[in-house]
Structure 1
């Protein structure tokens, strides 16, 4: 299982707790995810992101593929303009989609995101699906992103990058699906050994994403173990699942467009799970992947065929 990184009492009380990345920048350990199914109006991303920033979120995660960066950017800028935050308070992540993987298009994709956001730079630029990192390095050199990382890479693909001759900047993080049913323990240990931060998406399961998810898969938040722990700690099953990740040393993205839940998710800093309960949650692992990306199975870089 992943090695523990317990949070101190001081850290638990801080809404701004961060983890140091290998390049010296810092990433807030709790992030706000902005992806929504196509049927959700794009303006909801603006409303939800504003609520998230007001509630204390400082790490905002989006992507070109989400088609909502204009709306998310509007929310960020409005909270800067009204004095709630400064630009440097916000850690913004965007991602390179597969249609822009040709080296000459990598920076173009980022520049398009920045234009939609109306921001001068992003804090983290990720490869959304495994491919070369070299063109990403040029974006960092150009000052368009502070850090570069990867998403959905397995151990073999990470090692291939890390062992590449002439590597200028190693990826600072690997954003992957991670939750109690897919706890990624082996990948987490490997990433920690290489000073790569693991970032968890679909941390609460993804059953609502009908476009991507097999609807016969079990619903994570209905798990009786999470339910009983929620009663024990007087929290919600979602907060138990989020807290589990933080205590493992995982940066976690919490996604909701509901004001009550957005604010509620900030309570993750107000309690701590016992080592015994952490072990029980480790035992929930079933290697269930909600986002299987089956459409990419024939791709030579498909990452989910390996054990981890």
Structure 2
């Protein structure tokens, strides 16, 4: 739910009414209170019970130090007005300087880093499962080497790696790597993040791809529906984002068709390592996941 706070409460209410049960949150999005308000309204109305919902949140980079991890999770629970999360993720492997802004900067505007090792952060997450604060834990934006380091020390294995995933960055190597180790892939930005504020004029827009439009037209579906179904048919968890009720509803209408193997092969061929969320503010961090041509 990376959306403006004012729009979020209604969007989550609409999503739950339409049938969505997995709601993906994060502390850094700054709208957990609005998400929680919507969830609790729908529980009070009897539309859903808490056990029907799957609520995810994420540990932000400034809270990687082990002594800060539990309080960060508790703050998200307080914001969401919930007793537990279904899934808590390390949002990124790289840590930022503790105790200040979400993006603590020096006089030149460069983000200030912390050297906390995400392996130590992971060890601090595991007791939170034992305490019932979250039912499961995982990672986000970890490359294969980083995930390997966590798996080597984990008492509780990460259940998922949430990563940018769409036809221009289909993550096939990382998907195979994760699946071989019993870790699922959760695909964020499955529609190519068309609203990303850092896009430049002339940057590729996945939703305008004529080959995707041809598939969608043939199936009588929208391009967005094809892109969501693409992830489902590959066996990935998929989390599209919208605050528009019509699109929220349309994005849910993907269970009455499947893509053929021919369609999947064609869409897979679009891969060009076209990363749209490069996290350039962390450039130079020793744990930046994308800088050494890792997958």
Determine if the TM-score, normalized by the shorter chain, exceeds 0.5: yes
Matched-pair contact (CA < 8 Å) for 1:206–1:213: no
Given candidates 130, 133, 145, the residue that maps to 1:144 is 133
Output the CA distance in 2 between the equivalents of 1:193 and 1:304: 21
Unaligned runs of 5+ in 1: 1-33
Given candidates 64, 79, 88, the residue that maps to 1:125 is 88
Change (3 A) 1:135 1:255: same
* SS of corresponding position for 1:175: strand
Change (3 A) 1:174 1:128: same
In the alignment, which residue of structure 2 is the partner of 1:287? Answer: 273
Output the CA distance in 2 between the equivalents of 1:213 and 1:178: 17
Output the CA distance in 2 between the equivalents of 1:252 and 1:215: 27
| Bigger fraction of residues in strand | 1
Describe how 1:96-135 pairs up with structure 2 within 5 A.
96-130=59-93, 131-132=118-119, 133-135=122-124
Output the CA distance in 1 between the equivalents of 2:72 and 2:199: 27
* SS of corresponding position for 1:145: coil
1:140 Cα shift? Answer: 1.0
Query: May I ask how many residue pairs the two structures share in their alignment?
Result: 268
Q: Does 1:91 align with 2:80?
A: no
Output the CA distance in 1 between the equivalents of 2:199 and 2:178: 26
In the alignment, which residue of structure 1 is the partner of 2:253? Answer: 267
* SS of corresponding position for 1:265: helix
Q: Highest relative contact order (Cα 8 Å, sep 6+), 1 or 2?
A: 1
In the alignment, which residue of structure 2 is the partner of 1:239? Answer: 225
In the alignment, which residue of structure 2 is the partner of 1:204? Answer: 191
Given candidates 225, 231, 236, the residue that maps to 1:250 is 236
TM superposition score normalised by structure 2: 0.89
1:43 Cα shift? Answer: 2.4
Unaligned runs of 5+ in 2: 94-117
The alignment yields a C-alpha RMSD, in angstroms, of: 1.0
* SS of corresponding position for 1:269: coil
TM superposition score normalised by structure 1: 0.85
Q: Does 1:51 align with 2:40?
A: no
